[in-house]
Amino acid sequence: MLEQRIVRWTQDWERQGWQKGRKEGLSEGRQKGEAEVVLRLLKRKHGPLPAWAKERVRAADAEQLLIWAERVLTAEGLDEIFAD
């Protein structure tokens, strides 16, 4: 009886860990995809990007990436896009 409970608890913990990992993995994957889109837009409009711009985009969260993506449409230069 105790052995069955331990097995069930272990299975529940594994399932919870897998679900948490999957959820976090999807979020991380989405952020990476959005960052790549912003990088492509920047490169298309402004040419080759400096390393600092690439690093900043790859480190940004999803909300910041959306802000920068919108700024790409109207900004004259990288300084306008990354202005805080």
Query: How do residues 3-31 score in pLDDT, each as one tens digit?
Result: 676 657 666 766 776 666 656 565 788 88
Q: Is 39 helix (H, G, I), strand (E, B) or coil?
A: helix
Is the pLDDT at 77 greater than 90? The verdict is yes
Q: What residues does each domain of the chain span? A: 2-81
Q: How far apart are CA 68 and CA 14, in angstroms?
A: 38
* Half-sphere exposure at residue 72, Cβ-oriented, CA atoms within 13 angstroms: 19
Q: How far apart are CA 64 and CA 61, in angstroms?
A: 6
In contact, 17 and 51? CB cutoff 8 Å = no
Entry pTM = 0.69
